[in-house]
Structure formats: structure tokens, C-alpha cells
């Protein structure tokens, strides 16, 4: 009876997240820096009036930005969920473990070097940036993974991830020192994190990768649920642990690499969203948590995007500054909670 009630309440939570996501999505489209009245917005959206300026703002500026927020939130949350399962570490996440920094390093090498001059065609240039980010993310991921097999302590692994991020940042700093000013300016703008720099061309690359990653994760639900109980338990139940682990690495690296290439590194979302979903639902199974993070991640990013755009003002905040407001308190809470659990043992 209790399990039936818990399933019912969890189902209602998913429906609530879906309804909130739709509401916040249209709010993000309607409320931004450019001053467009609600009447003009809805009339343009429903096709009652045709104002080319308003249509351009909605369909060429706001809609790609809102869709990028959805894809970014979903990608980072899914990546964080897979990493926390792989490392059995509640603090694991693409930004905390330095994977986002690795993707940033790949983009820095591509952007600040002569490689970008060989690809003046926009789609080829975007593809090269994506490939560089994916290689950087995968390399850092493999380094962190090798340490995770040697270290059982969560805090030590966290510190190593931070140090790898610092190492990547120092290499980026050296590249910036020797690069031409115009390339440095372009890279600095990218590194602040922004959802507004993506176009429909970029979305043609991000959207297929995003849905392919979701489909692959759905196929892995049963092995992932077994991995929650530990690799020994997973092997006993017949799970191919090596193949599952490889798929988790590929999915996380590709998602973080592709997303970071276009939006810049975005902190905290990948680590905090899975915890928020588990905390509210009191469930850990991938059958619930997976759709939960795919709804909660985009919802959080859309809220952050609305705040970052400072409705009614011309200025726009870096998205990283806003996500940190939500994520930093959660990280502190998790570290304190981890310390309390260790001291009580």
C-alpha cells in the first residue's frame, strides 16, 4: 500500500514538473530584455498579427535561446546522474570533476590556435569546436575515472577534480597570453557561459545528440538500476558492467562536450538536479529519476535564464553567475551531510 502511494505521489511529481516546464518555457519566451508587450507576444505567436521585428526577436532570438536552455538543463542533469552512478559519489558532476574544464580546454585549443582559420564555413567551424570539446571532456573524464578506481574517499576525488580543473585553466591562461587579442576576447565571452550565442544551425547539432543520448540511457535503465547496488551486485544479476560503464562514459562525454562547445561551461546544474529529484521524490530507481532529471534540469535552466536576462533591462548576466546561486548552497549542504555521516560511523 505504501509503495503504491509513493508511486502515485512520484507520478504526480512528474506531471507537476512537466506542467511547470511548459509554463516556464512560454514565460522565458515572453519575458526578456527586449520590451514586447504580452498582447503583441501572444498575437504574434498565434499568428494574429505579423510584425517582422517582433517575429524576428521571438523566432530567431528567444526561441533558440529557450530551446538551448532546455537542452542544456537536460544534458547536464543526465550527465550528472550517470556520473554519480558511475562513481558512487554524490558530489560527482561534469563541472565539479573538471570535465567541463576539459571541454573548455579543447575549445580553447581550437579557438585560440590556427585551427579555426582552416574552417571558415560555419557548419564546419561549429563541428570542429564540438569535436575539440568532446576530446577535451573525454580525456579529463578518463583521468578522473582512473583516480576513482584507486581512491574510495569522496572528498579526495572531489579535490582531484578541482585540481584538474585548475590545471586546465592554467593551460588556457597560457594559450590566452600568446593568442591574438581578438581571439582572446572571443574565447573570454564564450567562457562566461551564455545560452544566447546558439543559433538554429547549432541546434541542428545539439538536438540529435541530445535525443540519441536519452534513447541510449533508456536502453540502459535496467543495468543502471543494478549498478546502483554496486558492481558486484550488477555482475551477479548478469549485467555486463564493462560495457555499461563504457556507455556511461561515452554518453556523458559527448553530452558535456557538445553542450559546452556552444554554451560555454555551466556549473552546478549537473550535480544538483539529480539530488533535488531524489530528495523530493524519495526514489532512486532510474525508471523514475531519469524522467525526473530530464524535466527538472530544463526547468531549472529556464528559471536561471529568466533571471539572467534581467527582464526590462538591456543588460544580461552570465548564466554561470545565476546557476551558482542555486548550486553552491547544495554543494555545501552535501559536504556537511557527508561529514556528519562519516563522523557517526
CB 253 within 8 A of CB 134: yes
Helix (H, G, I), strand (E, B) or coil at 287: helix
Helix, strand, coil content of the chain in percent (nearest 5): 80, 0, 20
The arithmetic mean of pLDDT across residues 269-279, rounded, is: 85
pLDDT of res. 325: 81
Tens of pLDDT, residue by residue over 204-224, are 888 999 999 999 999 999 888
pLDDT reading at 236 higher than 50: yes
At residue 258 the predicted structure's pLDDT band, cuts being 50, 70 and 90, is confident
Q: Tell me if the pTM is above 0.85.
A: no
CB 40 within 8 A of CB 52: no
Number of C-alpha atoms within 13 angstroms, CB side, residue 344?
6
Cα 147 to chain centroid, rounded: 23
Write out the three cell numbers for 112: 585560440
DSSP state of 330: H
pLDDT reading at 155 higher than 90: no
Amino acid at each position: 500500500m505504501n509503495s503504491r502511494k509513493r508511486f502515485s505521489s512520484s507520478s504526480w511529481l512528474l506531471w507537476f514538473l512537466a506542467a511547470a516546464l511548459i509554463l516556464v518555457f512560454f514565460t522565458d519566451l515572453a519575458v526578456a530584455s527586449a520590451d514586447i508587450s504580452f498582447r503583441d507576444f501572444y498575437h504574434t505567436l498565434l499568428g494574429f498579427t505579423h510584425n517582422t521585428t517582433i517575429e524576428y526577436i521571438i523566432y530567431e532570438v528567444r526561441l533558440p535561446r529557450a530551446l538551448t536552455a532546455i537542452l542544456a538543463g537536460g544534458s547536464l542533469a543526465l550527465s550528472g546522474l550517470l556520473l554519480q552512478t558511475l562513481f558512487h559519489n554524490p558530489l560527482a558532476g561534469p563541472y565539479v570533476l573538471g570535465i567541463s574544464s576539459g571541454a573548455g580546454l579543447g575549445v580553447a585549443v581550437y579557438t585560440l590556435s590556427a585551427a579555426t582559420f582552416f574552417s571558415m564555413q560555419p557548419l564546419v567551424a561549429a563541428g570542429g569546436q564540438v569535436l575539440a570539446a568532446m576530446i577535451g571532456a573525454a580525456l579529463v573524464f578518463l583521468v578522473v575515472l582512473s583516480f576513482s578506481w584507486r581512491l574510495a574517499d569522496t572528498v579526495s576525488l572531489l579535490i582531484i577534480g578541482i585540481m584538474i580543473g585548475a590545471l586546465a585553466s592554467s593551460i588556457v591562461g597560457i594559450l590566452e597570453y600568446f593568442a591574438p587579442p581578438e581571439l582572446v576576447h572571443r574565447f573570454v565571452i564564450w567562457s562566461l557561459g551564455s545560452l544566447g550565442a546558439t543559433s538554429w544551425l547549432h541546434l541542428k547539432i545539439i538536438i540529435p545528440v541530445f535525443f540519441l543520448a536519452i534513447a541510449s540511457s533508456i536502453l540502459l535503465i535496467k543495468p543502471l538500476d543494478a549498478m546502483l547496488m554496486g558492481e558486484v551486485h550488477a555482475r551477479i544479476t548478469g549485467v555486463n558492467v564493462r560495457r555499461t560503464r563504457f556507455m556511461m562514459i561515452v554518453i556523458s562525454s559527448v553530452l558535456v562536450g557538445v553542450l559546452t562547445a556552444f554554451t560555454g561551461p555551466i556549473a552546478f546544474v549537473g550535480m544538483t538536479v539529480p539530488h533535488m529529484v531524489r530528495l523530493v521524490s524519495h526514489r532512486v530507481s532510474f525508471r523514475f529519476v531519469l524522467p525526473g532529471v530530464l524535466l527538472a534540469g530544463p526547468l531549472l535552466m529556464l528559471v536561471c535564464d529568466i533571471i539572467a536576462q534581467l527582464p526590462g533591462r538591456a543588460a544580461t548576466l552570465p548564466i554561470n553567475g545565476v546557476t551558482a546561486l542555486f548550486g553552491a548552497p547544495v554543494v555545501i549542504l552535501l559536504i556537511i551531510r557527508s561529514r556528519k555521516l562519516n563522523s557517526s560511523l
